[in-house]
Structure 1
Amino acid sequence: MNAHMSPEEFRRHGRQVVDWIADYMAGIESHPVRSRVGPGEIRDALPAEPPEHGEPFEAVLADLNTILLPGLTHWQHPSFFGYYPSNASGPAILGDLLSSGLGVQGMLWITSPACTELETVVVDWLASLLGLPAHFRTDARGGGVIQDSASSACLVALLAALHRASGGRVARTGIADRYTIYVSSQTHSSLEKAARVAGLGAQGIRVVDVDDRTLAMDPVRLRELIAADRAAGAVPAMVCATVGTTSTAAVDPVPAIGEVCREHGVWLHVDAAYAGVAAVCPEFRRLNDGVAEYADTYSTNPHKWLLTNFDCTVLWTADRAPLLDALSILPEYLRNPASSSGSVVDYRDWQIPLGRRFRALKLWSVIRWYGAEGLRAHIRKGVSLAQDLAARIAADPAFEVHEPHPLGLVCFRPRWPGLSPAAADAATLRLMETLNAGGSLYLTHTTISGRVVLRMAVGSPATEHRHVEQAWDDIRREHQALPIQRVTDQTDQTD
């Protein structure tokens, strides 16, 4: 029977783990980007029952190498261009390790004062780095908190919005009136999930039309929908404007949307999960237009493009009172003099769960290691590589690029002369699957105006010009080699 791991054993195995991670990071290009295992392969390779007797830690590392590693899609691979970046970096990994090693519970200030106070400093630092308004700072009437994901941030914002819209009745008596929230067809699905969790259901969601070219929310249509709902007896509670949509990185017109919200007294949440961190660069501060004047809550994800491994979403509020009133519950076993004094922040009141990890350590480590200069260099590198790729695509008559593409995401599609739209979409999807199955890169897709397009998101710390250039060469080669006749025949049979 293994006893508890001693400090000396932990030191020895810890060095093995750090060495393993360092070797993995150094050799990540040797792996196929996307896992090639089939469903159930990993489960079948693992024992059906847990071990009766303890095993050496070396056995865990051995199975990690032989069983688990082949089942991983390598998000830190320099040729991973799918979804959005999910950055990890040395300082963030070490900060997370420190958090795990300390094992503190940061639900209340008193349960670990440093856990809370470091977080207040770090979210204020980040607000400053992004050029966000002063009232978002924790030493003002608002403040920031690190959530696990943008999904949680959206839900918290919605609960605060419902609390304000109902005058506190939702917290006391539940959903008695008909509340509505407003999104666009490009808004992240987490908003619909938030509406379900909050009890609004699908009937409480209004989908606002978007501009056909930019895919940004139409504020004129938003105004019409809110007016119609008010006339029908509904209570408009929240509008979600997106800065960098998941599908195409579209940017909603926050100032115009904010004017509509102000006219009708509706909460404005700005979801800048992907694009918000780009504002560390002064040339991208336009992404903040309208936030200072109109946003009630604002969130962005350092764990996407700012070198901080998952999970780390920062949510700021312009006024913390509705948020705290909506979420604060104080049972006797949590009462303490510090909380009762009102002089401290208790982050349990800023989120859905009670418990919370020491997430601030990894963001603190990243900001201190890179500094503002290093963070800006990382964002600028991704944007530069993406813009170079977009120029190459636009110059090739066999492809067309979607405009605009101001940041690190490029959406494009190949041309398939002679194919119907349905057959062309099928050919594009087949091209993507062929490329992904090859293991040298990983792309994802979306639809724009009903047509399939490929997405190539650049932003991994390890990605260099040669990786983007090689990916583009692979795309062009496979596009030329794809057997169109077979795609056409299969599509014709299913039309």
Structure 2
Amino acid sequence: MGSLPLEAMMPLNPDSFAGESSAVVDFLADYYRNVDKYPVMANTQPGTIRKLLPEAAPELGDSMDRILDDVQRDILPGLTHWQSPSFFAYFPANASTAGFAGEMLSAGLNVVPFVWTASPVATELEQVVVDWMASLLGLPERFHFKGGGGGVLHGSTCEAVVCTLAAARDRALSKLGHEGILKLVVYASDQTHATFQKGASIVGIPPANFRILRTSANSGYGLTATIVQRAIEEDVARGLVPLYLCATVGTTGLGAIDRVRELGHVARRYGTWLHIDAAYAGSAAICPEFQGHLDGAELADSLSMNPHKWFLTNMDCCCLLVANPTTMTDALSTDPEYLKNVGTASKMAETVDYKDWQIALSRRFRAIKLWVVLRRYGAAGMRAHIRRHIQMAEWFEHVVAADERFEVVVPRNFSLVCFRLRPRFMADKAVEALNRDLLAAVNASGRAFMTHFVVDDKFVIRLAVGGSMTEMRHVRAAWELLKEKANDLIATGC
């Protein structure tokens, strides 16, 4: 049997590391230069990549140049290009030079800081940057480590939700006993992300005990204290226990804003855990003019926001802040002998083991990525980034409202505009079909990508401004594209 190629025997060869890594950097630089030339949404058939690739892994390795050639030929055409300046779908997934540099450092150093001794500085840097974030968001001291709270960087809001639900569950069951889980109730609005239903199911809350509370246009589709109070009173009368309430600042569908302070007072009255989900719009709270949306945060038990959405931090990075970390670590901690910090007992009172703040044991060094972003752009640069997108969305909302064929369905919050084509002569069912066709035509053009939502039986098109490379000319082009496709559809009677 022949010997393995030398490069396979030394997979982390410092002499070849720089050259191969530089080739990837050059490839990505060319990709960003030309990303606007690709159709924004992938136009490919299911199973395409399987047909292009061999059935088995290669026996011998290839050069990095050949691999990158295959990425160019086979991979890029099948991607939806989230970093395209004409990507207006879902919510943004920001990338930046600093975010990429931080990601390279995280991946390159490749430490696993699950306990303090596994990489002390990695743990402590995470404590520093989550405190920085709490300050930037204008949160009360109770969410800072120095105030008895603290934070952790997860991969996604989904993880943060499961962790806080588990903490709330165990806090309640410590009084009720484990059989009391059948009494626990979770509350959210009809605009709340489905992640919360999934999380509740994972931690054992019966599906029948998840309350989806209706919102309306009168409150801007935000959840009100009156609705929550009524639902909780009904459950308490039935012998149930109000466990957990989600208040969202910037809902996925419409960008709606729940009334945090009002909901906080209701939650306090019943001993209910209040979580603020600011996954998207939390980034805007670094601007003083938007911090009012978090008014009442001192009444909350936890808050999460995703720097990987709108904060120039490459995937993945979710900042979870909690007022009482012990409730979470009590629910999530394990203490096997092989993870004990031998020889450092005198220091342990001052340290954090982040394995006890999350679902998994292993974890990435995300803190260095967020730290590099904050160091490179500073708070002023980040505020300018947020405000620039909001100004573009304001312009788009204005031109939509000024065109009598279109309507803004809900007033804009942040950088999300929800609208539809609404010719006066059309019946409601025809309008829904028309907007479905309009969205399909826009996305099929390859010149922009948007997504939709349905509210009060209205099919709504969403334009979320937030791409790192998006400029006003791209928003203007999206509006021209919408008008062009609308003209075509109306002219053909579709």
TM-score tier (shorter): over 0.9
Give the corresponding residue for 1:295. Answer: 300
Give the corresponding residue for 2:474. Answer: 467
Whether 2:252 is the aligned partner of 1:246: answer: yes
Asked if the contact 2:420/2:459 (under 8 Å) is kept, the reply is yes
Give the corresponding residue for 1:89. Answer: 96
Whether 2:379 is the aligned partner of 1:394: answer: no
Question: What is the deviation of 1:107?
Answer: 0.5
Secondary structure at 1:233's aligned position in 2? coil
Give the corresponding residue for 2:352. Answer: 345
Whether 2:62 is the aligned partner of 1:50: answer: no
Deviates more, 1:330-339 or 1:121-130: 330-339
Asked if the contact 2:41/2:449 (under 8 Å) is kept, the reply is yes
Amino acid in structure 2 at the alignment position of 1:95? G
Give the corresponding residue for 2:340. Answer: 335
Q: Pick one of 450, 455, 458 that aligns with 2:462.
A: 455
Asked if the contact 2:277/2:303 (under 8 Å) is kept, the reply is yes
Question: What is the deviation of 1:134?
Answer: 1.2
Q: Pick one of 267, 275, 279 that aligns with 2:281.
A: 275
Amino acid in structure 2 at the alignment position of 1:185? D
Q: How does 1:206-225 map to 2 (within 5 A)?
A: 206-213=211-218, 214-225=220-231
Question: What is the deviation of 1:26?
Answer: 1.8
Asked if the contact 1:254/1:290 (under 8 Å) is kept, the reply is yes
Question: What is the deviation of 1:450?
Answer: 1.0
Q: How does 1:14-413 map to 2 (within 5 A)?
A: 14-167=21-174, 173=178, 176-213=181-218, 214-292=220-298, 294-337=299-342, 338=344, 341-413=348-420
In structure 1, what is the Cα distance between the partners aligned to 2:466 and 2:22?
29
| Residues 138 and 251 (structure 1), Cα distance of their counterparts in 2 relative to 1, 3 Å cut | same
Question: What is the deviation of 1:484?
Answer: 6.9
Secondary structure at 1:279's aligned position in 2? helix
Amino acid in structure 2 at the alignment position of 1:200? I
Secondary structure at 2:321's aligned position in 1? strand
Asked if the contact 2:157/2:304 (under 8 Å) is kept, the reply is yes
How many equivalent pairs are there? 484
Amino acid in structure 1 at the alignment position of 2:184? Y
Amino acid in structure 2 at the alignment position of 1:247? G
Amino acid in structure 2 at the alignment position of 1:276? G
> Where does structure 2 lack aligned partners over 5 or more consecutive residues?
none
Secondary structure at 2:174's aligned position in 1? coil
Question: What is the deviation of 1:169?
Answer: 6.3
In structure 2, what is the Cα distance between the partners aligned to 1:482 and 1:339?
72
| Residues 485 and 439 (structure 1), Cα distance of their counterparts in 2 relative to 1, 3 Å cut | closer
| Residues 484 and 192 (structure 1), Cα distance of their counterparts in 2 relative to 1, 3 Å cut | farther
Amino acid in structure 2 at the alignment position of 1:413? R
Q: TM-score, normalised by structure 1?
A: 0.95
Asked if the contact 1:187/1:242 (under 8 Å) is kept, the reply is yes
Question: What is the deviation of 1:176?
Answer: 4.2
In structure 2, what is the Cα distance between the partners aligned to 1:363 and 1:174?
42
Cα-Cα RMSD = 1.5
Asked if the contact 2:173/2:180 (under 8 Å) is kept, the reply is no
Amino acid in structure 2 at the alignment position of 1:314? C
Secondary structure at 2:43's aligned position in 1? coil
Asked if the contact 1:382/1:459 (under 8 Å) is kept, the reply is yes
Question: What is the deviation of 1:335?
Answer: 1.3
Deviates more, 1:13-22 or 1:49-58: 49-58
Give the corresponding residue for 1:491. Answer: none
> Where does structure 1 lack aligned partners over 5 or more consecutive residues?
488-495
Asked if the contact 2:163/2:328 (under 8 Å) is kept, the reply is yes
- Per-residue displacement from partner, 1:161-182 (whole Å, max 9, x unpaired)? 1122222667xx4764421000
In structure 2, what is the Cα distance between the partners aligned to 1:339 and 1:380?
47
Secondary structure at 1:433's aligned position in 2? helix
Give the corresponding residue for 1:492. Answer: none
Give the corresponding residue for 1:493. Answer: none
